Amino acid sequence: MTNTTTQSTTIWSEIDYQTDAGLGAIAQIGMIVLDNDQTLSHEARQMLTIPGIALYESRLSTARQDAPISAGLLHDTFNGLEGALVQVNARFPSKVIALGCTSAAMTIGAEELERRVHKASPSAQVTDPFTGILAALRTLGARRIGYVSPYPRDVAEDMVRKIEKEGFVVPVAKGFHHEGSFIRHDAPFISPESTANAVRAVVNEGDVDAVVVSCTQMRAAVAIDKLEQEIGKPVITSNQALCWHALRLAGYKQPVVGWGKLFERDI
């Protein structure tokens, strides 16, 4: 057998290059998503696909997946947050950190969450869905609020009380229920049409200025535009409010079409 060696004919040379500001030329937004959340990532990437805005995500492990939602469970939701923040983007700090869980953010409180975030990301502005919802209601000038959520009654009532404590009135509230089902598992599988029906029911039963659909698991963003045209009132969802507020905090002031009246407004 004869061994033959083929000599490489590749011609190598060096070429100069230029650098630019990268994907996040306007802002980099870091988002913390719970490991069981199946909706927020998908909707956020749809809403924040904007030239110059880079979205970087880290997942946060949560325990007790089979336990019903309770105040104790919600208080523990963001345990380990600092570790998740470190993994958002190791090269550049995020301009805004968006924390993805409405009920946990409501339970823990914005000030405490900001304190925890600043341990790992001291220069970042911080938002969460509940903070975003309140900012959205103020921006839209709404006072009488309809409310829809998949939470257990005690958690939903606590959130309604805190919304009212901020100066709003909630005359009508709806909670999803299906006999024999575990709503914590079912929330991401509730159809957008079911959510739209709940919003319609709220509007039909009460005099409201806007309707809030609370929970990052709810697949509601795709229905906002059409639903607002139908009912003639703003619809605010957890994921929409979180993304809008993060975008505005990042300094992006332009209207974004397709996600409801809220995205047409600045803070």
Angle at 205 between CA 203 and CA 206, to 5 degrees: 70
Domains and CATH numbers, the chain: 27-128+242-264 (3.40.50.12500), 132-237 (3.40.50.1860)
Q: What integer pLDDT is reported at residue 184 of this predicted model?
A: 74
Closest CA to 218 of 166, 249, 176, 161: 176
- Angle, in degrees to the nearest 10, between helices 238-249 and 40-47: 50
In the predicted model, what is the mean pLDDT of residues 71-90? 86
Does 60 have pLDDT greater than 90?
yes
* Structure confidence by residue, pLDDT tens digits, 145-174: 999 999 999 999 999 999 999 999 999 999
Q: What integer pLDDT is reported at residue 213 of this predicted model?
A: 98
Q: What integer pLDDT is reported at residue 73 of this predicted model?
A: 72
Angle at 54 between CA 110 and CA 86, to 5 degrees: 55
* Structure confidence by residue, pLDDT tens digits, 210-251: 999 999 999 999 999 999 999 999 999 999 999 999 999 999
Q: What integer pLDDT is reported at residue 64 of this predicted model?
A: 63
Q: What integer pLDDT is reported at residue 65 of this predicted model?
A: 63
